[in-house]
Amino acid sequence: MALLRPEEEAKVREWFAQLERPVELVVALGPEAAPPAGAREVDFGAEMVRVCEGLAELGDAVSCRVEQEPDGFPRYPAVSIRPDGRDAGVRYDGLPWGYELSSLVGAVVEAGRVEPTLRPESRAALEGLDRDLALDVFVTPT
């Protein structure tokens, strides 16, 4: 099954063509949690590889690498979205199904920008941080 509809794929290609720096998708595979009810026939790891490799095919600046149980990944499968190959703390844990695929695409687009897209006042507020901050956002496919 195709990753995206033709019109969606064209749009993503357009966005990825405008990336200002390379973005690497590091897919982490390893022991997975008990599968959700009704999803026992889905190979989440294999599907994650298919999704990320599929996205990497849509832009020259996007690449994909698969690792088995790398450090820094508490859950599998997961993907780290890395601007210039640098771990910037941007990750998606689990398979980005359906609408959530747009979150992964959006992460690639954001990581591909040299300048952060937050407002100046937001950036200034974050620059004042004197501690680390871990944001987890729970999502579901729709």
Residues contributing to the site for another protein (CB under 8 A): 33-36, 39, 44, 75, 81, 83, 88-97, 100, 103, 106-107, 110-111, 113, 116-119, 121-123, 125-127, 129, 131-141
CB 41 → another protein: shortest distance, Å? 14
Instruction: State the minimum distance, in angstroms, from the CB of residue 42 to another protein.
Output: 10
State which residue, 59 or 94, has the beta carbon closest to another protein: 94
Q: Cβ(78)–Cβ(92) under 8 Å?
A: yes
CA 58 to chain centroid, in Å, comes to 14
Report residue 36 as tokens: 């959700």
Contact call for residues 101 and 51 (beta carbons, < 8 A): yes
Per the listing, tokens 């200034």 go with 124
Q: Which is nearer to another protein, 6 or 112 (CB)?
A: 112
Which of 6, 74 has the CB closer to another protein? 74
Nearest alpha-carbon partner for 109 in 13, 16, 9, 39: 16
